[in-house]
Amino acid sequence: MKEYYDTRAPEYDDWYLGVGAFTERNRPGWDEEVRELIRTLGALPAARTLDVACGTGFLTQHLRGDITALDQSERMLAIAGERVQSATLVQGDALDLEFRANSFERVFTGHFYSHLQAPVRERFLGQARRIAPELVVVDAASRPDHECEEWQTRVLNDGSRFEVYKRYFDPADLARELGGGTVLHAGSWFVAVRSRREDLGVSATGRSPSTTALDGAGR
Ligand SMILES: C[S@@+](CC[C@H](N)C(=O)[O-])C[C@H]1O[C@@H](n2cnc3c(N)ncnc32)[C@H](O)[C@@H]1O
């Protein structure tokens, strides 16, 4: 995955912006939903946040508070650093987070969780929970043109090809998978879930106050 994202870094934002290789993609409602997602993230209370796998900082720039942005790719971090000059940048492995327990108020991660296969997923969640009492996950919404879990061949502008593992989420299922939480965004393209330590295990019994928000949010 490192080589793929390092190579993709200069063209990564084309995906958000609908330019370059994405110019011809038919993505109804995409631009509006990107703006809606950005509004949702900007409305989160300011917090001491670790943005795990920040990429180019496209979403990072909208988080409020004291932001630390971590990625394993130097080229991604270089772009993020230009864009979010107030953030502290850390080059590191998202699966080996060397921060003290509770050193942040929130762990945020965008479009990273969907690339993790089961055992690694557990490892990431364990570390995120240790580092902060709140986890916000933004990722891809389930769609008819994709299986909920698949291997994809991705071709970059220079013709290089990479096999990438990817999942697509129903927002309520993602909240349950995180152990409970509140759906912040449930769109055609993206989902966003906030899961706090106090939510953990509660939604499984159906007693969580957030269950109501989960079922109805954003639809
Ligand atoms: C799909 S991009 C997401 C970027 C950004 N968070 C966003 O939502 O646009 C995935 C990012 O994860 C980073 N990444 C992948 N595996 C990683 C790992 N083990 N540790 C740190 N970063 C990783 C990649 O370098 C890439 O920047």
Q: Which atom of ligand 1 is nearest to the CA of 73?
A: 25
**How far is C-alpha 32 from the geometric centre of its chain's CA atoms?**
18
pTM over 0.85: yes
User: What residue ranges line ligand 1, CB within 6 angstroms?
Assistant: 1, 5, 53-55, 58-59, 71-73, 76, 93-95, 110-112
Domain range annotation of the chain: 2-216
Q: Which residues contact 32 (CB under 8 A, 6 or more apart)?
A: none
Distance 205 CA to ligand 1 centre (A): 33
Token pair of 127 as six digits: 């570390």
Ligand 1 centroid vs 139 CA: distance in angstroms?
A: 12
- Rounded to the nearest angstrom, the distance between the alpha carbon of 59 and the centre of ligand 1 is 12
Q: Which CATH superfamily is domain 2-216 in?
A: Vaccinia Virus protein VP39 (3.40.50.150)
Between CA 95 and CA 58 the distance in angstroms is: 21
Q: Taking 50 as the threshold, does the pLDDT of residue 75 lie above it?
A: yes
| Least confident span in 58-62, 73-77, 78-82, 203-207 | 203-207
**Confidence at residue 34, expressed as pLDDT on a 0 to 100 scale:** 98
Mean pLDDT of 172-176: 97
pLDDT of 139 strictly over 80:
yes
